[in-house]
Amino acid sequence: MSSVNKKEIEKFSKIASEWWNPDGKFKPLHKFNPIRIQYIKESIIDNFKLKNKNKPLSGISVLDIGCGGGLLSEPMSRMGASVTGIDASYRNIKIAELHSKENKLKINYICSSPEKLKVEKKFDVILNMEIIEHVEDVDFFLKSCSELLKKNGLMFVATINKTLKSYIFAIVGAEYVLRWLPIGTHEWEKFVKPEDLKKIMTKYNLSYNKFDGMKFNILKNEWSISKDLSVNYIGKFIKN
């Protein structure tokens, strides 16, 4: 079996050169990134009881799945984490490698899907950020991810809820009206409800810790953490 959806990989490979352009095709992710980084950092510190103020994630191994050009891998590395970034797009990995070298960061980038990744040691933290709505088989994908996580490790899954509101905001609004994203970036049928995500994770020894919403304030032009899970949301799970 494979979790890779070739059509999705081709879609993102075509725009791989845009990853680090804050006004390019990934502009929404650049706006989204600060709140994601803060949320992940605070959650990891809290979960692992970390005390290092200069390098807050020092001693933590992180696997960034579907890492793209490295928008999350790089800040995790700067905060002291030992980072491996994987992506099924060879072009994404090449862009990520080049950018990390330019910034003198040691990140282990590999062109792979989770089911094909061979590792000697499992990871403390796995990031599945805005990826499960682009894979071929969510169940198989998350099973493969679970096998790469240490006992008591932390997995983040950020995705889009399957609601009428998410169709209006994430597809009609973001792609057709505001043109934040290329048309066809998302397919509503691939969105996952929080309760369905929780059921899948439970099957693979991942216990639910918390769900939080992520909300965009169009007047302030910024993202914030919210209790509203109806569009973008993030789940934290701990490996039993």
**pTM, two decimal places:** 0.95
In angstroms, rounded to a whole number, what is the distance separating the alpha carbons of residues 217 and 104? 35
Check if the beta carbon of residue 228 is closer than 8 Å to that of residue 165.
no
Question: What share of the chain in percent tops pLDDT 70?
Answer: 100
DSSP SS3 for 70: coil
In angstroms, rounded to a whole number, what is the distance separating the alpha carbons of residues 230 and 225? 13
Question: What share of the chain in percent tops pLDDT 90?
Answer: 85
Comparing C-alpha atoms, which of 131, 149, 138 is closest to residue 206? 149
Provide the residue ranges of all domains of the chain, joining segments of one domain with +.
Answer: 6-239
Q: What is the mean pLDDT of residues 225-237?
A: 96
Q: Is the pLDDT of residue 153 over 80?
A: yes
In angstroms, rounded to a whole number, what is the distance separating the alpha carbons of residues 234 and 221? 20
**pLDDT tens for each residue of 92-142:** 999 999 999 999 999 999 999 999 999 999 999 999 999 999 999 999 999
Q: E strand or H helix at 226, and its extent?
A: strand 222-226
Q: Which fold has domain 6-239?
A: Rossmann fold (3.40.50)
The pLDDT, as a whole number, for residue 171 is 86
Residue with tokens 């994770």: 201
DSSP codes of every residue in 79-113: TT-EEEEEES-HHHHHHHHHHHHHTT---EEEE--
* Token digits of residue 57: 């994630």
Q: What is the mean pLDDT of residues 162-178?
A: 84
**pLDDT tens for each residue of 171-186:** 887 777 777 777 878 8
The pLDDT, as a whole number, for residue 221 is 85
* Token digits of residue 78: 């700067």
The pLDDT, as a whole number, for residue 89 is 97
What burial class does residue 166 get, using C-beta atoms within 10 Å of its C-beta: 0-12 exposed, 13-18 middle, 19+ buried? buried
